[in-house]
Structure 1
Amino acid sequence: MDHIVTVQDAVTAFADFMEPTNAELDAIEQEMPLIVADVDLLDAQIVVIDRTPTMLDERRIRRARRRVLAAHRDLANGLAEQTGGAA
């Protein structure tokens, strides 16, 4: 007869090594404005996915796209300043 044993110890034995490092958390924090802008753009696009966009919908999508581009620009400029060169 085979005994069924829990593998919890084997699965969680390396959990400490699977956590993000402080550097990775800092990078995520730095990219958060871009992530939020991308989510806003997706929200605007999802709203009109099954209907014809109104003028207000089109304006919302354009603004969201501009926020994404601005967040990309700010992130690239921030990285360039940190490294001392062009990103």
Structure 2
Amino acid sequence: MKTIAALQKLVTAASLDGGPSAAELDAIEQEMPLIRAEVELLDAQIMTIDRPATELDERRIRRARNRVMAARRDLTNRATTALTGGAA
């Protein structure tokens, strides 16, 4: 019986370096307001899955959508001013 051996090194062995870099953590921290707003929107939508949405539910979802849009706007504006070097 012949043994089967790998002819190449493991591909994933070098990629397991122990976690995200400082730059990746900073990027996540910058996006946290948007992430929180999206989670809040999801929570509001999940609450209405198994029942009809009441007026209060619709208001909650609308406000959560507005928070998501505001967080996206703020994140985009921060990224744009960082790339251009400040306000025009």
Q: Distance in 1 between matches of 2:66 and 2:76?
A: 15
Superposed CA RMSD? 1.7
CA distance in 2, matches of 1:71, 1:78: 10
The yes-or-no answer on 1:76 pairing with 2:76 is: yes
Instruction: Please give the secondary structure, in 2, of the residue aligned with 1:53.
Output: coil
> Which residue of structure 1 aligns with residue 63 of structure 2?
63
The higher relative CO (CA closer than 8 Å, separation ≥ 6) is in 2
Please name the residue that 1:39 is paired with: 39
Task: Report whether the alignment pairs 1:25 with 2:28.
Answer: no
**TM-score of the superposition, structure 2-length normalised?**
0.77
Structure with greater helix percent: 1
SS of structure 1 residue aligned to 2:51 = coil
In structure 2, the gaps of 5 or more residues are 1-12
C-alpha deviation, 1:19, in angstroms: 1.1
The Cα of 1:14 is off from its aligned counterpart by 5.4
Give TM-score, length-normalised by structure 1: 0.78
Count the aligned residue pairs.
73
